[in-house]
Structure 1
Amino acid sequence: MASSSSSSSLKFTVRRCQPQLVPPAIPTPREVKPLSDIDDQEALRTHLPVIQIYRKQASMAEKDPVQVIRQALSQTLVFYYPFAGRLREGPHRKLMVDCTGEGVMFIEADADVTLDQFGDSLQPPFPCFHELLYDVPGTQEITNAPLLLVQVTRLKCGGFILAIRLNHTMCDGPGFKQFMSAWAEMARGATKPSIAPVWRRELLMARDPPRITCNHREFEQVQDTLPSSDQNLVQRSFFFGPLDIAALRRLIPQHLQHCTTFDLITACLWRCRTKALQIEADEDVRMMCIVNGRGRFNPPLPVGYYGNAFAYPAAVTTAGKLCRNPFGYAVELINKVKGEMTEEYLQSVADLMVMKGRCLFTTARSYMVSHLARLNLKEVDFGWGDAVYGGGAKAGAGRFLGVSYFCSAKNGKGEEGIIFPICLPAEAMERFAQEFNLMLGNKSQPQTSSATFIMSTL
């Protein structure tokens, strides 16, 4: 199969072999394993795309990345064998993994392009991503479909691109990094992962009887008053460097100087996005912060646990208060809401899922952020060294496009920083860029991909 991809500055052809299933290297247990009540909530019933981009390495010149990665994947699935199974849905929408050993979907491909030809496009959104991760028909479903879709695309320069689509119900960011690290270890010659995978999904099941003990404003039922504009959406990436973080820190009072870089970036995005969407002053707006719960348990969740173990408590205020108050107001809201995440909070979410039919979070006037930069996916080394880029491939999660993933990246000057993609209507995107520049004192221009593409069918 061959198809072409183009942007304003780049045209190339991808040649793909027929997709194939990669099963575990040896037979694995045939059993049914229930997901936790955090895993199978509605918000996580989606596929997340991730992309890893690697340069040529002289020491690996005799190695074929497709063969190395495919064989290592088969070996890794011996230890992570639930990934080779299929999800089934039982009574009360309960999801479970039928460990069939069928395998994950794998695509071998070649592209007649070099990494250097991509220029500044080595960041989300990737104009050619639909070619670098072919959407195999029949794999889009959550149940009864492969839990991973993998494509390895060789490039003319000797580098390659590894693109992955993950069924989010199986694991979260830290769990996925653990799986990826094990996969990379096997590619480099290990016979077993350095961290043994732990299932133990019963640790995050609802109590009997379930009881909601915390205030979950992320699950309030709210009517959406914003007009629908699905036909004119664009994605762009923006970059925060050290000078930008310093500029934001100068905007907050002394008593907030303990706040993290995450707090500053999140508060900045929330304000800029709210202004860009021109939300009425008296309307509530939400910022949901994904917070890892692993270390908040007593005792902590076991090392090797790779299931979903996070919540996304929501900071809520009115658009008027958010935009008119000093910047420190937003920073304080973000810092405070992160502190709500406790073992009891996550347990309360699990109970809420059972009591309210695994409901979806509030989508009206809501925004969500995830700090994938903490995972440092760039350091996943299959033998070709660190990735040039490693992390989320685009904004959004499934049909909800109001999600941004913070990833590590370098700008055109070679500075290390945080890059994030955001999806907005075209006119709102221009306003967002203006607000973003204004907040940073016009010292940093928004860094976008070489081709901002229109997403007209979502």
Structure 2
Amino acid sequence: MLSPPELPVCIYAEQPTLIPPSTSTPNETLYLSNLDDQKFLRFSIKYLYLFKKSVGVDILKKSLSRILVDYYPLAGRLRKSQQDHEDDDHKLEVECNGEGAVFVEAFMDIYADEFLRFSDKPNRSWRKLLYRVEAQSFFDIPPLVIQVTNLRCGGMILCTAINHCLCDGIGTSQFLRAWAHITTNNNADLPIIPFHSRHVLKPQEINSEITFTNPGFTKNTLLDNINIINRYYRSQLLIPSSLTFTSSHILHLKRQCTPMLKCTTFEIVASHTWRAWVKSLDLSPSLHVKLLFSVNIRKRLNPEMPQGYYGNGFVLACAETTVKELVSANLHSGVKLVQRAKSSVTDEYVRSVENLLEDKTVKTDLSASLVISQWSKLGLEDLDFGQGKPLHMGPITGDIYCLFLPVIGDFDAVRVLVSMPENVVDKFEYYMNAFSDWEVNGEADGDICVERKDFT
């Protein structure tokens, strides 16, 4: 088994520069919705792209400056709302001042093929590939930070950090694809015009009564025995686990539900992953566990959200059951829980969440929950700045959140990436491979692509 190499030192060609919009942009304050302003979104989404051939840095800077005219809030700065709050949970807003995105050029003495060999899981040395902005707090970090690292072979690694309070996964994909489009078609129009206003998600009746309790949120700060999962995670070294489900694997999973139940790839893989996660942690049978997963609400509202909306246009759906009910039942039952949670996301549900989040003591319940974020169907892997599509696309760092990632060259496949405590990662991967009625070409379990390299 090959050990991952420590990446060489990143050599910076020059000091970080600020790339402002190429022409004047509105000087205004951008309101952020309650969905944007959630505390669990106060971080940057960090993407890593590996390209076989590099693109000139001056070309990338010029096109970035041009696209920031259209996406001018990303050239602004996050700040606490000017409205007074009596507590510390300040609402956020964006000062659209055209200050610019942080852009860094670097060189690393490594070949693209070397990096690709170990690209299935992030490791700590990858953090060298994204410039760390020295800041007092999250508020002081610019919404957009970019590092372009040229490689020995003539390839490049492009890393981006985009503030999650401004964009969700669909929004970041929309921005990055627009940037690539302008890079290769300098005078072309954008395929999608960004829609900036977040007032379409502003609570209509701020003081209205919440019509139902949402299981995905809590007001408790101490959750007693349920908090055991978080304590368990904090006490262990976390190891990224990466498993690729091909279309063949997914078909065999689905056959465990048909003809009684039709389901999507996401529903079947999410249910299977949730069960494997719960089984591997060896939890009390009576413990209530949750699966939280993002649901795009752009077409679920009445009226539908405007095209080009790139803010946080999702809510977390919540499937909930006991450990005993989840692990003892068949996969069919887990899929039904996921489908029921997804179907509950209606216009009324979303409006109720907006109102619920007016109470700043309400937080997403992460205590006994697996959180899945879907990156695999956003078109993130199709980025082309003029020298071809990426050899690899994924996160820079591992996390306890579970990511469903695209597989380069296979649109129907899904790569599941999640960090697990060191002493249970093997058990988790065993359960992920444990397909009932699994048979491919006469061979039994274990056909999923799993490589246990200790990326820590």
- The reply to whether residue 200 of structure 1 matches residue 204 of structure 2 is no
Match of 1:341 among 318, 342, 345: 345
**Distance (whole Å) between structure 1 residues aligned to residue 7 and residue 126 of structure 2:** 13
1:59 match: none
1:180 Cα shift? Answer: 0.8
Match of 1:246 among 228, 243, 251: 251
1:376–1:390 Cα contact (<8 Å) kept = no
Alpha-carbon RMSD: 2.2
1:368 match: 371
2:247–2:413 Cα contact (<8 Å) kept = yes
What letter matches 1:218 in structure 2? G
- The reply to whether residue 350 of structure 1 matches residue 354 of structure 2 is yes
2:128 match: 131
Match of 1:313 among 317, 332, 339: 317
- The reply to whether residue 43 of structure 1 matches residue 47 of structure 2 is no
1:245–1:261 Cα contact (<8 Å) kept = yes
1:218 match: 216
**Distance (whole Å) between structure 1 residues aligned to residue 208 and residue 75 of structure 2:** 32
**Distance (whole Å) between structure 2 residues aligned to residue 434 and residue 419 of structure 1:** 16
1:122 Cα shift? Answer: 2.4
2:405–2:417 Cα contact (<8 Å) kept = no
1:134–1:151 Cα contact (<8 Å) kept = yes
Q: Deviations over 1:107-150 (max 9, x none)?
A: 10111111111243223324532111132222x73323300111
What letter matches 1:259 in structure 2? C
- The reply to whether residue 151 of structure 1 matches residue 156 of structure 2 is no
What letter matches 2:363 in structure 1? L
- The reply to whether residue 28 of structure 1 matches residue 28 of structure 2 is no
**Distance (whole Å) between structure 2 residues aligned to residue 350 and residue 416 of structure 1:** 34
What runs of 5+ residues in structure 1 fail to find an aligned partner?
A: 1-5, 57-62
1:91-130 matches, cutoff 5 A: 91-92=84-85, 93-130=90-127
1:125–1:421 Cα contact (<8 Å) kept = no
Match of 2:181 among 176, 181, 185: 185
1:385 match: 388
**Distance (whole Å) between structure 2 residues aligned to residue 388 and residue 331 of structure 1:** 33
1:327 Cα shift? Answer: 1.2
1:363 Cα shift? Answer: 1.3
Number of equivalences = 432
2:441 match: none
2:105–2:147 Cα contact (<8 Å) kept = yes
1:326 match: 330
1:303 match: 307
1:132–1:163 Cα contact (<8 Å) kept = yes
2:240 match: 235
1:41–1:359 Cα contact (<8 Å) kept = no
**Distance (whole Å) between structure 2 residues aligned to residue 292 and residue 143 of structure 1:** 26
1:446 Cα shift? Answer: 4.5
1:362 Cα shift? Answer: 0.7
1:53 match: 50
SS at match of 2:27: coil
1:76 match: 67
SS at match of 1:29: coil
What letter matches 1:115 in structure 2? A
1:142–1:167 Cα contact (<8 Å) kept = no
TM-score (norm 2): 0.89
1:276 Cα shift? Answer: 0.7
Q: Deviations over 1:355-383 (max 9, x none)?
A: x2163211111011122111021112111
Distance 1:415 1:74, change over 3 A: closer
What letter matches 1:128 in structure 2? S
TM-score (norm 1): 0.89
What runs of 5+ residues in structure 2 fail to find an aligned partner?
A: 439-444
1:85 match: 76
1:390 Cα shift? Answer: 2.5
**Distance (whole Å) between structure 1 residues aligned to residue 367 and residue 449 of structure 2:** 26
